[in-house]
Amino acid sequence: MNLAPTYKYLFRISIRSLMLVYLWLIGITLILPALFSLISGTIGDFSLANQLSSQQFSIVAGFFLFFYFSLNDNHFNFLIQNGIGRKTYWLGKLLVAGVTILIIEAINLVYLYAIYLPIAGTGNSSDTLQISYEGNPVASSMLSLLYGHYTGNELLDYVLTTIVVLFGLASITALGMAVGSIMSLFSRRMKLIIIIGTPIFLIVLAIYISNLNIHLFSTTWIYDFAKVIVGAGAHPVEEHFNPFAPMVSGTIFIAIMLFVSRYFNLKLKVRTD
């Protein structure tokens, strides 16, 4: 198995793509508004603190992980051209995904502690982090609210919440890998139909769900199952969530997604359509 060069190649491309995404993010959220302010003559009102958000890096990272690791064709084509089989490709991709997740979470934490909190955390930012920031800030303020007080031990809660975040990112990545491997089986035309059709289907589904009576929904097994998955107790609004539950459900979900991803990955073929 020629794993080392495969890993190096995939890692290099992954990190380059991630940096490009971050550059775009900085350009859109900081440089562009600053430029507009400069052009419109309102640069005096421009506040760096107001432009920063505690969650923007996490959200973009989530999208990046899903979409980047769903891509297959170019990488597979290059690797099979260079005598690298599907098993090595899949394993290399999995390792790169794991390392990329850790890098992303490290960037999230560095951003939070080194940039966001010193600039906006004590300022007049309207960010939701202000609401959730109670001495236990993690990359995702929502998760901090839900899981950040389970044991009552500040350090332990912090570590557990960070692990939940990592499981969340890993689940998104594994889902992307599974979806991408299935999509690789289709022709370019079919992929286009699926890419256009899926959002339409999801919008219709969202409208349907929003029309459901929420109280009626809360009596179904789906609601109870969802509570088990996320670690919510009998009274989810009043109680803190159990961080070990999403770790268990995340492990099962990731294992299933990776199985699907590997199964279809081994069926990859060079497409000329």
Partner 1 sequence: MSSIEIKNVTKQFGKKEVLAGLNFKLEPNKIYGLLGRNGAGKSTLLSIMTNRIPLTSGTVTVDGESIQNNDKILQKMYLMSEVSLYNSRLRVFQVFNETDKMYGKFDFDLANRLAGEFGLDLNARIGKLSTGYRTIFKVLVAMGVSAEYIFLDEPTLGLDANHRDLFYKELMESYANRPRTFVISTHLIEEVANLVEHVLIIKNGKILIDSGVDETLAKAHTVTGPEADVDSYTAGLNVIGHDSLGKIKANYVFGDMDDKILPDTVSIESMDLQKLFINLTNEGEN
In angstroms, what is the minimal distance from the CB of 80 to partner 1? Answer: 5
Q: Does position 81 bind partner 1 by CB under 8 A?
A: yes
Angle, nearest 10°, between helix axes 244-265 and 154-183?
20
Give 87 or 188: the residue with its C-beta nearer to partner 1. Answer: 87
Q: Choose the binding region for partner 1 from 48-56, 84-92, 137-145, 180-188 (rule: CB under 8 A).
A: 84-92
Long-range contacts of the stretch 140-148 (C-beta < 8 A, 24+): 140/55, 140/58, 140/165, 140/168, 141/54, 141/55, 143/168, 146/230, 146/240, 146/241, 147/231, 147/240, 147/241, 147/242, 147/243, 147/246, 148/240
Choose which of 72, 88, 100, 144 interacts with partner 1 (CB under 8 A).
88
Question: In sequence order, which residues have a C-beta less than 8 Å from that of residue 84 and are 6 or more positions away?
Answer: 2, 5, 6, 92
Give 86 or 227: the residue with its C-beta nearer to partner 1. Answer: 86
Choose which of 7, 9, 11, 116 interacts with partner 1 (CB under 8 A).
9
Q: Does position 82 bind partner 1 by CB under 8 A?
A: yes
Give the DSSP letter of residue 185. T
Side-chain-side CA neighbours of 21 within 13 Å: the count stands at: 20
Give 5 or 98: the residue with its C-beta nearer to partner 1. Answer: 5
Classified as helix, coil or strand, 220 is: coil
Q: Does position 2 bind partner 1 by CB under 8 A?
A: yes
Choose which of 22, 46, 67, 78 interacts with partner 1 (CB under 8 A).
78
Q: Does position 83 bind partner 1 by CB under 8 A?
A: yes
The candidate with the shortest Cα–Cα distance to 250, out of 181, 178, 173, is 173
Choose which of 49, 80, 95, 117 interacts with partner 1 (CB under 8 A).
80
The separation between CA 253 and the C-alpha centre of its own chain, rounded to angstroms, equals 15
Classified as helix, coil or strand, 151 is: coil
Choose which of 32, 87, 209, 251 interacts with partner 1 (CB under 8 A).
87
In angstroms, what is the minimal distance from the CB of 272 to partner 1? Answer: 5
In angstroms, what is the minimal distance from the CB of 92 to partner 1? Answer: 11
Choose which of 84, 120, 143, 257 interacts with partner 1 (CB under 8 A).
84
Q: Which residues bind partner 1 (CB under 8 A)?
A: 1-2, 5, 8-9, 74, 77-88, 266-267, 269-270, 272
